[in-house]
């Protein structure tokens, strides 16, 4: 499963990331991690103090990857509207759900201040980054001055995370796509220079 030369700690972290996304914290047993990583007995405790320590490393990496992917789009070229549009339409494995968002619904993760920390920090960063882009758009006359940047940012994040939930519940990406189109339509109304009829979002399950 892993390329030749990948270190044991790396394999353990990646295996844990995958299992946390698929099964949650309780379902991610040390045995399952070792099997997925192709690592020998005792290797977890050689490189990490235990499952919580390994899970923290995995969650930190997942959170950092989400942040890096988001910044790659939000920090890219284009108007404020275009960058928000690109973020909402970026390729996602919608039916698997958000690897960060799903962890926020895991009671064992949320019960731990340490494990919850990277998730909270990442979502806070995302809201602040989006709010800054909305405010930038207002300064350039792209968005109405009456909009509240923090409220719009929270709505964007809620639309994405809620879209994942609705898509998984229905077994279809349609609900996610509809939520994205609806939000972009509302933003277009407040963005005179943006297209009035946003194109359908990219599908990732076909």
**What is the per-residue pLDDT across 49-101, written as a single tens digit (0 to 9) for each?**
999 999 999 999 999 999 999 999 999 999 999 999 999 999 999 999 999 99
Q: C-alpha angle 88/130/106, rounded to 5°?
A: 70
| Other CB atoms within 10 A of residue 50 CB | 10
From the options 1.10.357.10, 2.40.160.40, 3.40.440.10, 3.40.50.1580, give the CATH code of 8-189. 1.10.357.10
Q: Which residues contact 77 (CB under 8 A, 6 or more apart)?
A: none
| pLDDT score at 88 | 97
Residue 84 is predicted with a pLDDT of 97
The position carrying tokens 């399950």 is: 205
Q: What does the pLDDT look like over 161-205, one tens digit per residue? A: 999 999 999 999 999 999 999 999 999 887 655 444 344 444 433
CA atoms of 21 and 117, how far apart (whole Å) = 17
Sign, CA torsion 186/188/191/192: negative
Q: What local confidence, expressed as pLDDT, does residue 106 receive?
A: 94
pLDDT tier at 3 (50, 70, 90 boundaries)?
low
Q: Which two tokens stand for residue 54?
A: 């390994």
In b/e form, how buried is each residue of 96-134, taking b as 16+ CB within 10 angstroms? ebbbbbbbeebeebeebeebbebbeebbeebbebbbebb
Q: What distance in Å separates the CA atoms of residue 124 and residue 127, rounded to the nearest whole number? A: 5
pLDDT band at residue 41, thresholds of 50, 70 and 90?
A: confident
Q: What's the rounded Cα separation, in Å, for the pair 130 and 141?
A: 17
Q: What is the DSSP letter of 41?
A: T
Q: Alpha helices of the chain — where are they, by DSSP H?
A: 8-27, 30-37, 43-47, 51-74, 80-89, 99-103, 107-110, 113-139, 149-170, 174-189
pLDDT, tens digit, 9 for 90 and up, residues 7-24: 999 999 999 999 999 999
Mean pLDDT rounded to a whole number for the chain: 90
pLDDT on residue 204? 39
141: left (phi over 0), alpha (psi -120 to 50) or beta: left
The owner of tokens 């990646």 is 14
């Amino acid at each position: 499963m892993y390329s030749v030369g990948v270190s044991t700690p790396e394999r353990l972290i990646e295996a844990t990331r995958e299992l946390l996304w698929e099964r949650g914290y309780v379902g991610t047993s040390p045995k399952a991690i070792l099997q997925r990583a192709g690592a020998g007995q005792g290797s977890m405790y050689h490189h990490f103090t235990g499952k919580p320590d390994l899970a923290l490393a995995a969650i930190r990496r997942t959170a950092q990857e989400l942040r890096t992917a988001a910044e790659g789009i939000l920090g890219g070229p284009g108007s404020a509207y275009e960058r928000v549009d690109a973020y909402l339409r970026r390729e996602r494995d919608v039916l698997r759900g958000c690897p960060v968002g799903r962890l926020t619904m895991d009671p064992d993760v949320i019960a731990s201040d340490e494990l919850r920390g990277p998730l909270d920090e990442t979502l806070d960063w995302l809201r602040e980054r989006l709010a800054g882009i909305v405010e930038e758009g207002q300064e350039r006359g792209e968005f109405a001055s009456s909009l509240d940047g923090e409220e719009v940012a929270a709505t964007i994040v809620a639309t994405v995370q809620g879209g994942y939930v609705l898509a998984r519940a229905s077994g279809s990406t349609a609900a996610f796509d509809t939520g994205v189109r609806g939000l972009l339509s509302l933003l277009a109304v407040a963005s005179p220079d943006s297209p009035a009829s946003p194109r359908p979002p990219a599908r990732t399950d076909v």
